[in-house]
Amino acid sequence: MSVVMKVGAVLVAAGSGSRFGSAMPKQFLNLAGKPVIRHAAEHLLDHVDWLQPVGDAQPILEALEDLPILPVVPGGATRQDSVRAGLEALERYNPDYVLVHDAARPFIPGGTIEALLAELRESVGAIPAAAVADTLKRVERGVVTATVPRDGLFRAQTPQAFRFETLLAAHRSDMTGSTDDASLLEALGETVEVVPGSDDNIKLTYSEDLVRLERVMSGFSVTRIGSGFDVHAFADARPLILCGVTVPHDQGLAGHSDADVGIHALCDAIYGALADGDIGRHFPPTEETWKDADSARFLRHAAERITARGGRLINADVTLICERPKITPHAPAMIARLAELLGVGTQRISVKATTTEKLGFTGRREGIAAQAVVSILVPD
């Protein structure tokens, strides 16, 4: 009769993510409709008896709401300190094995954890690692000084797996300066086994990694496209608000709300992609509540509908159709405002303009039309 081994996991989420360049720590950014850390936690919870998060409690609890996790413990000054704090908290549960995983690695390829735990039947530690395929150069002050042989070199990944008591003892030793947990065991002369890693086990470090992760995780999602169109006539004595920006002009647009034709088209595109009706369904023009309302409220609601579906906006493209005013000088501010309202980077938003060569009502300068197209990644 086989003995069932109890497994705990330490999920390290104490890093600031300074290299990523975001005001929010990277582990809490939205990826495919969920915080990055939540993807990692859900993978681990499929395999462990206890999940011990380490880091700032409030954002972790918000990101992992309703998941069966242990009370969050604060992180330390270094990653090594943070892992030790997690191990000390786990000790009361007496696990046989422990996984240590970085919250910034949201995708754990299938079979990785099973392979690691299988190695622990004979070894004290095991890590996933991928062979280095590129030629390595040593560079000093922007100049290549040497080519480093890549034979036998591997890129270490997480989760890393260990016999619990062995790893806890290593962290309680006097050794410092480790960049991963395997190096502590190596310094003690212990053998650490390697199981095949994967290029899909991406650590979110730089902004371009978010795009790579979306591509990897799109295998579990579908891309939906939506289009929207709106038109408003010019009206006197009203401000002209386009894509959330007040544009100097001698006329504004007529409408029940602030008549932001760009945001209205964009909202309809989002609702269309989600098969969620149109802006009139969510904000009926017959209701006094929405009279002269700031259309930013409508776009925030559309963004919330994306999140509620577990989705993520891939990109949005808005075209304003008019003879006057000139849109190009205001396009950067419009892009920034739409990105803010949607909670995405400006690189995902496009605002541009065209005319109808003086044909039709826009050509006669009677109003402004707008069309928008969005693509959204949602769970399959």
Residue-number span of the structural domain to which 18 is assigned: 7-205
Phi and psi, residue 362, nearest 5°: -70, -35
Q: Are 200 and 230 in the same domain?
A: no
Question: Is the per-residue pLDDT at 22 higher than 70?
Answer: no
Q: Does residue 231 lie within any of the structural domains?
A: yes
Bridge partners of 35, per DSSP, are 30
Q: Are 192 and 322 in the same domain?
A: no
CA 101, CA 52: separation in Å to the nearest integer? 10
Total domains present in the chain: 2
Q: Are 172 and 252 in the same domain?
A: no
Q: Are 188 and 227 in the same domain?
A: no
- CATH code at 134? 3.90.550.10
CA 79, CA 86: separation in Å to the nearest integer? 11
Q: Are 160 and 289 in the same domain?
A: no
pLDDT computed for residue 294 by the predictor: 93
Q: Are 248 and 142 in the same domain?
A: no
Q: How far is CA 286 from the centre of its chain?
A: 38
Boundary-marking domain end, from 205, 233, 262: 205
Query: Mean pLDDT in the chain?
Result: 90
| Chain segment 143-188, per-residue pLDDT in tens | 999 999 888 899 999 999 999 999 999 999 877 777 789 999 998 8
| Chain segment 259-290, per-residue pLDDT in tens | 999 999 999 999 999 999 999 999 988 888 88
| Chain segment 287-311, per-residue pLDDT in tens | 888 888 999 999 999 999 988 887 8
CA 207, CA 26: separation in Å to the nearest integer? 9
Mean pLDDT of 22-36: 82
Q: Which residues contact 282 (CB under 8 A, 6 or more apart)?
A: 271, 298, 301
How far lies 31's CA from each of 104, 270, 297, 302, in Å? 11, 18, 23, 17
Which value, to the nearest 10 degrees, does the dihedral of the CA atoms of residues 26, 32, 33, 39 take?
-60
| Chain segment 50-86, per-residue pLDDT in tens | 999 999 999 999 999 999 999 999 999 899 999 999 9
